[in-house]
Structure 1
């Protein structure tokens, strides 16, 4: 762990305690020596962090002290960067723009812009977007209809090539690691159905809105799947793409 990250963790430990915390406790938590912690505490105090206490008794942070609004460790930034790359590779345009806007705000308040750029494009991290294509074609509209609980009609092509038209209540989107699927309540079948986004040929909105129901939502659908798996049975999921 770099010294800068260690100092940040020490401040977080001090903030999380209402009473004093000993140097030994901090050292054990960060897996370093007590001598290192004493040096770090001294460095923090010299930099203006209001730490009260003394060796052998313990330390605490003044209640009035607050951290800047955004402070991330290197690993946290990389995790956020991975999430952003996944959004850019697999999500719709609206979500991509939101992710980019959020990262611009983060970048603006980071103290070391060059350090951020190094983290932004690590040589060992890549999320290919060549499969995005049709998967993102309807995702923005679907997100909107899910939020509004608006009924839609889709033209859909099954795996066997058969075409069908379905009126559905869109409930949520699931990404399975290869493709996005829409979980919906099919009005014709009167049950849950899943539709692959890359097989949706067209979509139209109806001026019909549905209410949220405890027995008809994405969480309920997932609970049904988990329940079937818990019974050591292969879940017989109604999938339009299977």
Structure 2
């Protein structure tokens, strides 16, 4: 198989398979050896693709320069704008501003006909009672998860008792009424979910847990099954 075709198939697998995806799963999907996957991941990174993870933990495609916006269908445009509308309604101020920026960039790069379709999208989002979003805590936790740095929390439980603990933030889940942080709790030595509206204070630390975020998230998803 020509190398260009192999890299294209790998990009497609990274886009379509649930992340993080192991090298063995990528090798199965693209019908090459695991050793070839490692080499091709390195080649894609060198070409500008942002691929998170490493051998033994799995991979996730963060940024793909080979996927141009003009490849969107009408339904994909509707889905994209609907999702961005939900972010504007339910995200914190920083995330809502990012959603506005994404929409503007996508529409600006669409062909004229598709740009008109985007400007007159059929699907809309309106929320009369937007979800309460703790602005400062969410911003800090998001940055700490990106950088894989531990955070010290003062957390109030359902009974009102406040405990202090160090956590490794892994992800933030948007539920119907509240936001939950999925984290590894260093105090309890296990996965825990924390409601953001019960976080009394959050302080960044210099402790790094890189590169364990991808593998921990995978283990957490497996535990839910």
TM range (shorter): 0.5 to 0.7
In the alignment, structure 1 segments of 5+ residues that lack a partner are 1-67, 227-242
Q: 1:192 to 1:93 in 2, by over 3 A?
A: same
Tell me how far 1:79 sits from its aligned partner: 0.6
* Alignment length (residue pairs): 156
Partner Cα distance (2:84, 2:78) in 1: 10
More relative contact order in 1 or in 2 (CA 8 Å, sep 6+)? 2
Superposed displacement of residue 221, structure 1: 0.7
What is the TM-score normalised by the length of structure 2? 0.60
Equivalent residue in structure 2 for 1:118, among 120, 134, 151: 120
Report SS of the residue matched to 1:70: helix
Provide closer, same or farther for how the CA distance between residues 128 and 211 of structure 1 changes in structure 2, counting only shifts above 3 A: same
Q: Secondary structure of the equivalent of 2:164? A: strand
Q: Distance in 2 between matches of 1:79 and 1:138?
A: 29
Q: Which has the larger radius of gyration?
A: 1
Partner of 1:103: 103
Q: Relative to structure 1, is the Cα distance of residues 215 and 139 closer, same or farther in structure 2, using a 3 angstrom cutoff?
A: closer
Pairwise CA distance, 1:69: 5.3
**Is structure 2 residue 111 aligned with structure 1 residue 89?**
no
In the alignment, is residue 145 of structure 1 matched against residue 141 of structure 2? no
Structure 1 residue 84 displacement after superposition: 0.1
TM-score (norm 1): 0.56
* TM superposition shift of 1:215: 9.5
**C-alpha distance in 2, partners of 1:134/1:140?**
10
Question: Separation in 2 of the partners of 1:198 and 1:131?
Answer: 14
Q: How does 1:182-193 map to 2 (within 5 A)?
A: 182-193=181-192
The DSSP-based 3-state class of the residue aligned with 1:207 is strand
Q: Which has the higher helix share?
A: 2
> Using a 3 Å threshold, how does the CA distance of structure 1 residues 214 and 206 change in structure 2: closer, same or farther?
closer
Residue-by-residue CA offset, 1:95-152 (whole Å, 9 max, x unaligned):
3333222211222233145543221xx4x63242733333444222111101111111
- Change in CA separation of 1:169 and 1:80 when aligned onto 2, cut-off 3 Å: same
Cα deviation, 1:173-192, whole Å, max 9, x if unaligned, reads 22234322111111111111
After superposition, where does 1:1-242 map in structure 2 within 5 Å?
A: 70-110=70-110, 111-112=112-113, 114-119=116-121, 122=122, 125-128=124-127, 130-213=129-212, 217-226=216-225
Give the Cα separation in 2 of the matches to 1:176 and 1:191: 22
Instruction: Give me the CA root mean square deviation.
Output: 2.6
Alpha-carbon distance in structure 2 between the residues aligned to 1:164 and 1:117: 49
Which SS does the other structure have where 1:220 is aligned? helix
Residues 150, 206 of structure 1: 8 Å contact kept = yes
